[in-house]
A and B are shown apart, each in its own frame.
Chain A
Amino acid sequence: MSERTIIPFGPQHPVLPEPIHLDLVVEDEKVIEAIPSIGFIHRGLERLVEKKDYVDYVYVAERICGICSFIHGLTYCMAIEELMKVQVPDRAQYLRIIWSELSRIHSHLLWLGLTADSFGFESMFMQSWRLREQILDIIEETTGGRVIFGSAKIGGVRRDISSVKMDEIMKKMNVYRKDIAQLCEQFMKDQTVKHRMQGVGLLSRADAISLGAVGPMLRGSGIAQDIRSTGYSGYDRIGFTPVTETAGDCYARCMVRMREMDASFVMIEQCVGKMTDGPIEVKVTGNPAGEFFMRSEQPRGEAIYYAKANGTKFLSRLRVRTPTFANIPPLLATLAGCQLADVPVIVLTIDPCISCAER
């Protein structure tokens, strides 16, 4: 038997822009075990509810993560709206879906670039980020921000999109959809990509359930669970079926995300078709009371917000369970037994967002 060595991976590592630390126990080139240590980005923002009132906290919730910022803000708003029994106008709900799906597209493009980069496919990295910039342009035109949108608020949304602007955007989106589909095809048909991903990082259906995987990690193992199918924020009014793949390897997880991007374009189109003129917000008065669990589907999987309010303007407790945190146990299970060179690829197929996970 060969000797065991421990190789530290991170926190400062060229593959990931964010710090996560894994101690990889290796025997020759084979990883026996991965031991994570997290907490490098812990800020403790759940306790900020004691210092910022429930309206101001929307801004903090958006800054839990800089990629799915809008959906974080939205989930928090929805939790408070449920507590306060606020009915959000239809137009606001459709606008929320549009921005959520735009976030999903840009997040998946970002992930595609980083994944390609993890095995040295630099030109794909550049191409997918080039397309991502175009999606960010649309976001910037409609919300004013590239990263933090600031357009979700309790009781609706802050900004409207005029019908002229919407037509303009849809014309552009049709072009982008074709570009992205072409890019995905190039990536998925590439022999080298298949070689690096097929059969690597296997997560079986049973393991995915017992280890509590969420999002594309779960759907890549053949389980059709997507929180959007619960119909929050008007998702019940647009046609939607969760995307699944059955192989459970890195390639399947990539495939799920590729197909989700296309599905997001379809959803945005449906929203634009169904949107009618109307108010975009309702006035919210009073303070929340009671407790509520809100679930939403982020690009990385299911996020859970637990809010407990006591009738004052400060919440008494807020708990956030983010998708990356849930995906760490399945990640460790898939890392055991893989080759050392496959570690970055496997880590990236869970689409890690460490700032989400550690808050």
Chain B
Amino acid sequence: MGMLSRSPWVIHYDGSSCNGCDIEVLAALMPRFDVERFGVVNTGNPKHADILLLTGSINEQNKPVVLNIYNQMPEPKVVLAVGICATSGGIFRECYNVLGGVDKVLPVDVYVPGCAVRPESIIDAVVKGVGILEEKRAAFKAAGKA
């Protein structure tokens, strides 16, 4: 399991954010922050991913998409709600088309506040997520599933 914890693969999906957090997620991949040096890879395929990184809140239209991505990911998996919209709906929580944070549809493991969230916080969240992934994996093994 040590191997996986050193290189978590992340899949990113934009719920209904303003784009600010998504750009910061990409900025974390850039030479200044460069998460790839830790082995964190942004993958486009849910079947390869360990961590689901969600920005933006949930609405009726993207609910099935988010659930579809989550269900395709192999166990164990971790969900990060990145940005204030993903944690609670943020400034848009009163909008008619916003159901609320990601936790309305998925079990969230790490909440990351910020509007827009800073790349440093995203990296921190991924590191926290790796710890949780490790715990889940241990529990998974103990249950005799792996």
Q: Which residues of A contact B (CB under 8 A)?
A: 11-14, 17-19, 39-45, 47-48, 51, 59-60, 63-67, 69, 110, 126, 129-130, 132-133, 145-148, 353-356, 358
Chain A residues whose CB sits within 8 angstroms of the CB of B101 once the complex forms: none
In contact, A65 and B19 (Cβ under 8 angstroms): yes
A63, A132, A354: the one within 8 Å of B115 (CB): A63
Q: How many residues of B contact A (CB 8 A)?
A: 39
* B-chain residues with CB within 8 Å of residue A353 when the two chains form the complex: 19
CB distance from A300 to the nearest CB of B (A): 12
- Using CB atoms, name the residue of chain B closest to A125: B30
A355 to B91, CA, bound (A): 15
Q: Any chain A CB within 8 A of the CB of B26?
A: yes
| B65 touches which of A14, A40, A67 (Cβ 8 Å) | A40
A48 to chain B, nearest CB (A): 6
Tell me if A66 and B65 are in contact (CB < 8 A). Answer: no
From B10-18, B73-81, B131-139, the one touching the partner chain is B10-18
Known: A17-B14, A147-B24. A11 touches B19 (CB 8 A): no
Residues of A within 8 A of B21 (CB): 66, 147
Q: A11-B65, A17-B14 are in contact. List 18 more A-B contacts (CB 8 A).
A: A11-B62, A12-B69, A14-B43, A17-B12, A17-B26, A19-B13, A41-B17, A43-B95, A44-B97, A44-B98, A47-B95, A66-B20, A69-B18, A126-B31, A145-B116, A147-B21, A147-B23, A354-B19
Kindly state the separation between the CA atoms of A148 and B115 in the bound complex, as whole angstroms.
7
Sample 24 A-B pairs with CB under 8 A, ordered by A number.
A12-B46, A17-B25, A19-B13, A19-B62, A19-B65, A40-B16, A41-B15, A41-B56, A42-B16, A43-B98, A48-B94, A63-B92, A65-B19, A66-B20, A66-B22, A66-B23, A126-B30, A133-B27, A145-B116, A146-B116, A146-B118, A147-B23, A353-B19, A354-B19
Contacts of B18 in A (CB 8 A): 63-66, 69, 355
CA distance A11 to B20 in the complex (A): 18
Task: Choose one: A14, A17, A129; the contact of B30 (CB below 8 Å).
Answer: A129
Within the complex, what minimum Cβ distance (angstroms) separates A337 from chain B? Answer: 27
Chain B residues, Cβ within 8 Å of A63: 18, 20, 91-92, 115
Tell me whether A12 and B24 are in contact (CB under 8 A). no
Q: Which of A13, A65, A130 contacts B31 (CB 8 A)?
A: A130
Determine the chain B residues whose CB is within 8 A of the CB of A42 once the complex forms: 16, 59, 61, 97
- CB–CB A147/B16 < 8 A: no
Q: Are A67 and B59 in contact (CB under 8 A)?
A: no
Report the Cα distance A259→B120, complex, angstroms. Answer: 33
Please name the residue on chain B nearest to A51 by beta carbon. B94
- A44 contacts B96, CB within 8 Å? yes
Q: Given A11-B65, A66-B23, A110-B23 in contact, is the A147-B95 Cβ separation under 8 Å? A: no
Q: Which residues of B contact A (CB under 8 A)?
A: 12-27, 30-32, 43-44, 46, 56-57, 59, 61-62, 65, 69, 91-92, 94-98, 115-116, 118
Query: Within 8 Å CB of A130, what residues of B?
Result: 30-32
User: Which residues of chain B are within 8 angstroms of A132 by Cβ–Cβ distance?
Assistant: 30
CA distance A145 to B23 in the complex (A): 14
Distance between A331 CB and nearest chain B CB, rounded to angstroms: 18
Q: A110-B23, A129-B30 are in contact. Are A43 and B62 (CB under 8 A)?
A: no
B11 closest partner in A (C-beta)? A12
In the assembled complex, which residues on chain A have CB atoms less than 8 Å from the CB atom of B19? 17-18, 65-67, 353-356
Cα A14 to Cα B69 with chains together (Å): 13
Given contact pairs A43-B59, A48-B94, A67 touches B13 in the complex (Cβ within 8 A):
no
Cβ contacts under 8 Å, A66 to chain B = 17-23, 116
Q: In the assembly, what is the distance between CA of A51 and CA of B57, in Å?
A: 19
Name the contact of B20 in the complex, choosing from A13, A126, A133, A147 (C-beta under 8 A): A147
B123 CB, min distance to chain A CBs, angstroms: 15
Given known A43-B97, A129-B30, contact A17–B91 (CB-CB < 8 A): no
Q: Name which residue of chain B comes closest to A12, CB basis.
A: B13
Smallest Cβ-Cβ distance to B12: which chain A residue? A17
Residue contact B22 to A12, C-beta cutoff 8 Å: no
CB contacts (< 8 Å) of A41 on chain B: these are 14-17, 56, 62
Q: In whole angstroms, what is the CA distance A126 to B28 when docked?
A: 11
- Cβ contacts under 8 Å, A356 to chain B: 19
Q: Which residue of B lies closest to A64 (CB)?
A: B18
Q: Is A69 touching B14 in the complex (CB atoms < 8 A)?
A: no
Which residues of B lie under 8 Å from residue A11 when comparing CB positions? 62, 65
Q: How far is the CB of A59 from chain B (nearest CB, A)?
A: 6
CA distance A138 to B27 in the complex (A): 16
